[in-house]
Chain A
Amino acid sequence: GAVVSQHPSRVICKSGTSVKIECRSLDFQATTMFWYRQFPKQSLMLMATSNEGSKATYEQGVEKDKFLINHASLTLSTLTVTSAHPEDSSFYICSARDFEGGTQYFGPGTRLLVL
């Protein structure tokens, strides 16, 4: 199956700092990537859809100025959590869509802890 990497896998930061998370599709090109957030024992909540070369589309209730998304190439999307606060602590997972088959492949996730 297709491989999606995410970096870093785990990050601890102080309140008020910014954190960047990278998502890469390693063996296929992804015109569309998605960013999800998952709290413990809850479902995957879609935050935004990232399209290569255009602005991201954010879901209702997600602050676009707080969660900056950049999809610079067909294999890389980044999510920057700006001015992070403890309530932003969560498991952030990206997925990349295989355009041919429509399947979404998930990265391994990034666990963010804001102190």
Chain B
Amino acid sequence: QQPVQSPQAVILREGEDAVINCSSSKALYSVHWYRQKHGEAPVFLMILLKGGEQKGHEKISASFNEKKQQSSLYLTASQLSYSGTYFCGTAGGSSNTGKLIFGQGTTLQVKP
């Protein structure tokens, strides 16, 4: 079942922060975050494998609450280059089969 992302779209000014949420109705093994720019393929941001795990990548970080079956992506001090559509991909079950189901995406637009 497809995970649900919120919000669907967000507009920011440079330097502002944003949070993108990803919720699943099924138990999760891992959550993967990607950013896709128009006309291009998705680019890997990070993978979270353990419940309660948090990871950071420059000014982009994420958390994974296994019990709540949720993950959140945090974008701090946003830059123009952060604009794009963010997708979470979830892998369910008790083992990592690799198969991902992607959310519907969250479009982020960062303005000067």
Contacts and interface: CB of A to CB of B under 8 A. Distances in A.
Interface of A: 1, 32, 34, 42-46, 49, 93, 97, 101-109
B64 interface: no
Most buried by A among B34, B44, B49, B87: B44
Contact of A102 (B2, B30, B40, B101): B30
Interface residues of B, number: 23
5 contacts: A34-B100, A43-B87, A43-B104, A44-B42, A46-B100
Interface in B23-82: 30, 32, 34, 40-44, 47, 49
B44 A102 contact: no
A45 B89 CA distance: 11
Nearest to B99: A49
B47 A103 contact: yes
A54 to B, nearest CB: 14
B44 A105 contact: yes
Interface in B71-112: 87, 89, 91, 96, 98-105
A34 B104 CA distance: 18
Contacts of A1: 44
Given A93-B42, A107-B41, A43 B103 contact: yes
Contact of B2 (A43, A104, A108): A43
A106 B41 contact: yes
Contact of B40 (A42, A97, A109): A109
Given A103-B47, A105-B44, A108-B40, A44 B102 contact: yes
Nearest to B96: A102
Given A34-B100, A43-B2, A93-B42, 20 more contacts: A32-B98, A34-B99, A42-B105, A43-B87, A43-B103, A43-B105, A44-B89, A46-B99, A46-B102, A102-B30, A102-B47, A102-B96, A103-B32, A104-B32, A104-B98, A104-B100, A106-B34, A106-B43, A109-B40, A109-B41
Contact of B101 (A42, A46, A97, A104): A46
